[in-house]
Amino acid sequence: MNSKNNIRNSCDTGETPPRRSFLKTIAMGATLAGAMLMGAGQVQAATTWKIQSTWDAGTVGYTLFEEWCKSIEAKSGGELKFQCFPAKAVAADNNALFDAVRNGVLQGMNPFTLYWAGKIPASVFLSSYPAGPDQPHQWDTMFYSMGMLEKTREIYKKFGLFYVGPIQHDANIIHSKQPVNSLDDLKGMKIRVPGGMVAEVFQQFGVSTVSLPGSDIFPALEKGTIDAADFVGPAVNYELGFSQVTDYIIFGPPGVMSIYQPVDLMDLTVSLRAWNSISPELQQLVEDEVRIYSQKHYLAIQARNIEAMEKFKADGDTVTRLSQEDLETWRKAAIPIWFNWANKNDDARAILDIQLKYMMNDTVGYITEEDIKGF
């Protein structure tokens, strides 16, 4: 009787019976837990950046880039994801790639920096050029210790882009149907080269230069419409079958694979809108990862180069080398062309100024005041 009275009294006074109170507590807890999980899911949902490389699918370059892109989601704790695409997958050519990133169709690109010479004249000095700095560490020094990275970002910002950082790749080399043992041997040859400053210097030595996309090089060599062709380094060039259509590989002096493009840099560039949409912590992660990937990419390519050179020789290809004297002659021909490009605008001039300061320092000693007198 007392217990009944107690229950009745509880109801009369508005107190919740124990069982009902317990169930209500569970329901409220579940609601709160669900809200917390939803909130956590919103915070951790990955921001996806679509990034197109200029590497063709199936090449060692693209394989390395794809592996790196896949690693970003885990490294960012699920906050950022890189969805990568090979050349032409989204943007059909280089001009379309540049515009696709600016317009937001893609959030980023992994190009050879030199591709933008026509749009950003300073970019000819953001990757190696004829007789310029010819060792990878020299470029890292200029970018990360001498203010060249900050200046580059300032330039790219004018185009609505953020230059995250350089990615070390390789030297560019020439495969030829005929031997070239000196600069004199170049006279009269028809050679595929990238264009711009590189083509202008080759023309000083009597070369007829041709601009061809990478996919057209093999058939042009096979048909004999060109005598030789520049492309990237041994690893990729072997994959493209160049040993089947040429007999000679032209290098610079020992220690220098190429006198015209010895450190062919790539980069990661993203739209400024995409960059500003992520947190400072994620921005720092991406910057750090680009520097790490730069080293990994470079070292992996160099290991493949050694293997590829053995294959080239097994296929009967012969390496010919230009001399140190040839390199010095080449640099004298290149210097006036450096200044022609630097004078296209203030940005190009500012980048070359940083590099001249470095090349003229006694730690490098590539050029002297006398070499640039009058320019």
> Helix 60-75 vs helix 280-314: angle between axes, to the nearest 10 degrees?
160
Neighbours of 89 (CB within 10 A): 14
Mean of pLDDT over the chain: 89
Which residue matches tokens 């920096």?
Answer: 113
Give the pLDDT confidence of 3-51 residue by residue, as tens digits.
434 433 333 444 444 434 433 443 444 444 444 434 444 445 789 999 9
Say if residues 24 and 31 touch (Cβ distance below 8 Å).
Answer: no
Over residues 216-228, mean pLDDT = 96
- Of 212 and 108, the structure prediction assigns the larger pLDDT to 108
pTM confidence score = 0.85
- Three-state SS at 109: strand
Say if residues 220 and 202 touch (Cβ distance below 8 Å).
Answer: no
Q: Which of 192-201, 292-301, 323-332 has the lowest mean pLDDT?
A: 192-201
The reply to whether 45-167+263-305 and 171-259+316-358 are identical in fold is yes
Q: How confident is the model at residue 195 (pLDDT cuts 50, 70, 90)?
A: confident
Starting at the edge strand found earlier in the chain, the sheet holding 108-110 runs: 80-85, 47-53, 108-110, 264-271, 161-170
Q: Report DSSP state, residue 139.
A: H
C-alpha to C-alpha distance for 80 and 48, rounded to whole angstroms: 6
C-alpha to C-alpha distance for 232 and 193, rounded to whole angstroms: 11
Say if residues 195 and 209 touch (Cβ distance below 8 Å).
Answer: yes
Give the pLDDT confidence of 330-354 residue by residue, as tens digits.
999 999 999 999 999 999 999 999 9
CATH number of 45-167+263-305: 3.40.190.170
For residue 298, CA distances in Å to 146, 166, 304 come to 22, 11, 10
347 annotated ligand binder: no
DSSP characters over 226-274 = SSEEEES-HHHHHHTTGGGT-SEEEE-STT-S-SS-SSEEEEEEEEHHH
95 annotated ligand binder: no
192 annotated ligand binder: yes
C-alpha to C-alpha distance for 140 and 125, rounded to whole angstroms: 13
Which residue matches tokens 């996309």?
Answer: 213
Domain extents for the chain?
Answer: 45-167+263-305, 171-259+316-358
**To which CATH superfamily is domain 171-259+316-358 assigned?**
Bacterial extracellular solute-binding protein, family 7 (3.40.190.170)
Contact residues for 71 (Cβ-Cβ < 8 A; gap 6+): none
